[in-house]
Chain A
Amino acid sequence: MDQHQLKNNRYWNWLPAAFALAGVIVFIFATFGPPASSSGFVSTLKGALSNVVPDYVQSKVHYRIIPGPGSWLFTFILGMAIGGFIGGRTLKRSITDVPSLWRRRFGDSQITRYTATFLGGFLILFASRLAGGCTLGLFISGSTQLALSGLYFGVLIFGFAMLTARLIYGKEEK
């Protein structure tokens, strides 16, 4: 594993990466509006649940205010998965299902890691839907529009994530 990592390709540095992503975001503002990704989860759910319990979906405000799978929001998150796929295929870099910092702290049990990411995923989506957006839809989109909601959310998510990581992983020296 370790000699494998020496051959890993490097990720892009933050500044060229920021120019690239800002280009994509400005394109999205010009052709659609503020980009968002947590709403895409609701779109997917709406599509899935409409086949099973259509009356329930009709009765809930949250599904009424977010469009279903026939929408920009849905094709955008689908595209994100495709973009991640293309990125992964074209970058020589090993990936692990249990990240190395996690393994050092909790061992290499996949069950433990998957339980934690399930719980983490639950929390970030529950919270995003309460706030009306996530890292992209509220922090990045909001702050780009100089909205107080986005700046306020951004400061707090970084603060709480840093605190949580500190508590979970302890003080990491390397």
Chain B
Amino acid sequence: MIDKLLLGLFSGIAFGFVIQRSGATDPDRMTRSHLMIDANIPQFMLATVALSAVGLFGLQTAGIGHTVILPISLVATGLAAAIFGIGWGLCGYCPGTTWAAVGEGRLDAVFALVGGMAGAAVFAHLHERLIPLLYDPTNMGRLTVPDLIGNHFLALVIVLFIICIIIYLIGRIWKNDSTTD
């Protein structure tokens, strides 16, 4: 048990350090990404997904690791994404970066964290009412791209290819004037 807690602590420290160094805990940088004048953060996030997917494929080939696929609910996942996007665009923090930004000493992140606690508490209170209403009716199950294509390796290659194209396009379309600071 204590091993699990220490692994979590170590993983968190490494994760928090890297996202601080990448600039993801800087809400100004995050806002510039959303305004399409700094390409670094979206390229970083997408490249992280692509490289992690390759790494996870390696783990699965070696028979290691543990996966949990979350279901997709067209209405609930979509509505949640819309609300999430509005909050993210407003404050420039997402749940993980909030903790690292608090550690970094950003006072506005402390308020984002307290607001987050309130948001989580309100949802937890309404869970029994909202999940049957919004989540369950359009829950399509734990679908993955390999389920659609029928071949895990081919699905991985297709997803990686699409991510690479998007990273390239972000590099072309975003103005990226802050690489100098």
State the main secondary structure of chain A at its contact with B.
Answer: helix
Q: In the assembly, what is the distance between CA of A89 and CA of B39, in Å?
A: 25
**Judging by beta carbons under 8 Å apart, are A29 and B103 in contact?**
no
Given contacts A130-B130, A149-B69, A161-B88, contact A81 B81 (CB under 8 A): no
Residues in A with CB closer than 8 Å to B169 are none
**Judging by beta carbons under 8 Å apart, are B78 and A152 in contact?**
yes
Residues in B with CB closer than 8 Å to A86 are 13, 16-17, 103
Residues in B with CB closer than 8 Å to A40 are 95, 99
**Judging by beta carbons under 8 Å apart, are A125 and B119 in contact?**
yes
Nearest CB of A to B154, in Å: 11
Q: In the assembly, what is the distance between CA of A169 and CA of B37, in Å?
A: 12
**Judging by beta carbons under 8 Å apart, are B120 and A129 in contact?**
yes
State the main secondary structure of chain B at its contact with A.
Answer: helix
Nearest CB of B to A58, in Å: 13
With a 10 A CB-CB cut-off, give which of B5, B48, B65, B116 has the most chain A CB atoms.
B116
Residue tally, chain B, CB below 8 Å to A:
129
Nearest CB of A to B62, in Å: 9
**Judging by beta carbons under 8 Å apart, are B69 and A142 in contact?**
yes
Q: In the assembly, what is the distance between CA of A129 and CA of B83, in Å?
A: 11
Residue of A nearest to B47 (CB): A18
User: Interface 1/0s, chain B 97-124, versus A by CB < 8 A?
Assistant: 1111111111111011111111111111
Residue of A nearest to B20 (CB): A87
Residues in B with CB closer than 8 Å to A83 are 12-20, 100, 103
**Judging by beta carbons under 8 Å apart, are B103 and A82 in contact?**
yes
**Judging by beta carbons under 8 Å apart, are A136 and B95 in contact?**
yes
Residues in A with CB closer than 8 Å to B58 are 26
Nearest CB of B to A60, in Å: 6
Residue B107 contacts which of A23, A97, A168 (CB distance < 8 angstroms)?
A97
Q: In the assembly, what is the distance between CA of A65 and CA of B25, in Å?
A: 29
Which residues of A pack against B, CB within 8 Å? 5, 8, 10-15, 17-35, 37-38, 40-42, 44-45, 49, 60-63, 70-88, 91, 95-102, 110, 113-153, 156-166, 168-169, 172, 174
Chosen A-B contacts, 14 in total, with CB atoms closer than 8 Å, are: A29-B66, A32-B11, A79-B13, A84-B16, A84-B17, A86-B103, A88-B103, A110-B108, A120-B93, A127-B81, A127-B87, A146-B144, A147-B70, A149-B77
Q: A83-B103, A136-B94, A143-B49 are in contact. List 15 more A-B contacts (CB 8 A).
A: A17-B48, A40-B95, A62-B124, A79-B9, A84-B17, A116-B91, A131-B81, A140-B48, A143-B53, A145-B69, A146-B145, A146-B156, A161-B86, A161-B89, A174-B37
